[in-house]
Amino acid sequence: MGFRNELQMSEAVARHFKNSAREVRVGNCILDVIGYDKEQKLFSVIECKLGSAVTKVSETFGQIAGYQAEISARPHTFIDAYTDKPEVHLRWGRLMEATNGNRYIRVAFYVALTDAACARIDLIRSHKQNHPNVGVIRVKEDGSCKDNLKADGRRDFELAKAIPTVITILQERSDKPVGAILETA
C-alpha cells in the first residue's frame, strides 16, 4: 500500500488510538492525532512523519517538544479543541474523569514514523536520550501500527514506550502556575 502523504499516515495512526481525532489546532500548532484512553485516563498526542532522513526524524521530535509546551501553556484550549471535534465522544462525566475533576491531565507524546525511519535505531536511541518521555509508533506500509521497535534482532517495547506527562489545569497552590508540568507519570 504505502502512503502518498502524511494525511494517509495520520488516518492509519488515528485508527490505532482510541477515541481519536485528527488535525486539532491548539494555539499555533496543528496536532496530527489526539487520542483518549478512558481506562488509563490518558490523552495521547501523536506527530506523524513520512520521511526517514535524519532531518525529518529530528524535526518530528522537535515538533513534539513544541506541542508539549503549547499544551502546558493552554490546557483548556487543548481540551476544548479536542472535544469540539465531531468524532470525539466525551460526555461531561468522562471529561471530569479525564481531567481529574478539572485539576490536571495526563498526556503521552509520540512520534509516528515509518518502518524505514524506525530502522535507523541509532538515530531513534539518540533522540530518546534527549526526549526520554516521547514514545515511538512504528507505522508499517500496510497501515498497521506497532508499539515496538526492531532493535538487535528483537522487538523492543521499552525503547518505543512513552512516559506520560501530568499537566495542571487549575492552580492548586500559588507556586504552581496553570499549565505547569507537575511530573511524569
User: Is 93 among the domain residues?
Assistant: yes
pLDDT, tens only, 13-38 = 999 998 999 999 998 899 999 999 99
User: Is 57 among the domain residues?
Assistant: yes
Q: At what angle do helices 121-130 and 54-73 cross, to 10 degrees?
A: 30
Number of structural domains found in the chain? 1
**Is 178's pLDDT higher than 80?**
no
Count of CB atoms within 10 A of residue 162's CB?
A: 23
Report pLDDT for 185: 55
Least confident of 40-44, 56-60, 179-183: 179-183
Q: How confident is the model at residue 172 (pLDDT cuts 50, 70, 90)?
A: very low
Question: In Å, what is the CA distance from 3 to each residue of 28, 65, 141, 143, 161?
Answer: 26, 25, 7, 8, 24
User: Is 49 among the domain residues?
Assistant: yes
User: Is 60 among the domain residues?
Assistant: yes
User: Is 63 among the domain residues?
Assistant: yes
Alpha helices in the chain (DSSP H): 6-16, 54-73, 75-83, 92-98, 115-118, 121-130, 157-160
Share the mean pLDDT of the chain: 88
User: Is 44 among the domain residues?
Assistant: yes
| Residue 39 DSSP symbol | T
Residue numbers of the domain that contains 68: 6-184
User: Is 115 among the domain residues?
Assistant: yes
Q: How confident is the model at residue 119 (pLDDT cuts 50, 70, 90)?
A: very high
Report pLDDT for 170: 66
User: Is 1 among the domain residues?
Assistant: no
**Is 116's pLDDT higher than 80?**
yes
**Is 71's pLDDT higher than 90?**
yes
Q: Among 130, 136, 125, 135, which residue's Cα sits nearest to residue 164?
A: 135
Report pLDDT for 171: 55
Give me the percent of the chain exceeding a pLDDT of 70: 91
